[in-house]
Amino acid sequence: MVERLVANEKVEGSTPFARSNFMTNLLNKKCVPCEGGAVAFDISEIHKYQKKVDGWNIIKNEKNVYLLEKKFTFKNFLESQNFVNEVGKISEQEGHHPDISFGWGYAKINVTTHAIEGLSENDFILAAKIDKIINV
C-alpha cells in the first residue's frame, strides 16, 4: 500500500517566485554523504521542504519509509532514455542515487535516503537538480 501526502496549506514561500528562490538554494547545495546515524525528517520538515520542489509527491512505501516520487513524460523512448542518463550523471556527481523506472514516453523517479530509512535534505537537493534537467 502506498500512502500519499499533499501539502495544500498556503504558507510563505508558496508563490512561484518564492518557490524558485527556495529551489535555487537547493540547487546551490551538494548532497552530503549519509551512512546512517542521522535522523530522517519528520512530517512537518518534509512538508516544509516539499514546498521547495515542484510536483514531487511524498509517498510511503510498503515498509512505511517516506519517498519523493515524480513521473516525467516524454514524446518517445529515446527522450526518456536521455533523461534517465542525465539523472544518472547528476546522481553520480552528488553521490546520491534514486530508484528509476522508465520506458516509452515516461520515467518515474523515487528518492529516499536508504541509510536512514526516510527523507533528508539530500533527497530534496537531488529532486531540485533532476527538475533542472527538464527546465533548462
Which residue type is seen at 97?
H
Residue 112 has pLDDT above 60, yes or no: yes
Sheet holding 99-103, edge to edge: 3-5, 57-60, 66-73, 106-111, 99-103
Percent of the chain that is helix, strand, coil (3-state, to 5):
40, 20, 40
Q: Hey, where are the domains in the chain?
A: 3-134
- What local confidence, expressed as pLDDT, does residue 33 receive? 62
- The burial of 97, by beta-carbon neighbours within 10 Å (0-12 exposed, 13-18 middle, 19 or more buried), is given as middle
Q: How do residues 20-78 score in pLDDT, each as one tens digit?
A: 444 458 777 666 666 666 788 999 999 999 998 989 999 999 999 999 999 999 999 99
Grid coordinates in use for 107?
520515467
Residue 16 has pLDDT above 70, yes or no: no
Q: How far apart are CA 93 and CA 37, in angstroms?
A: 23
CATH domain 3-134 topology:
Gyrase A; domain 2 (3.30.1360)
- What local confidence, expressed as pLDDT, does residue 29 receive? 64
Q: How far apart are CA 41 and CA 52, in angstroms?
A: 15
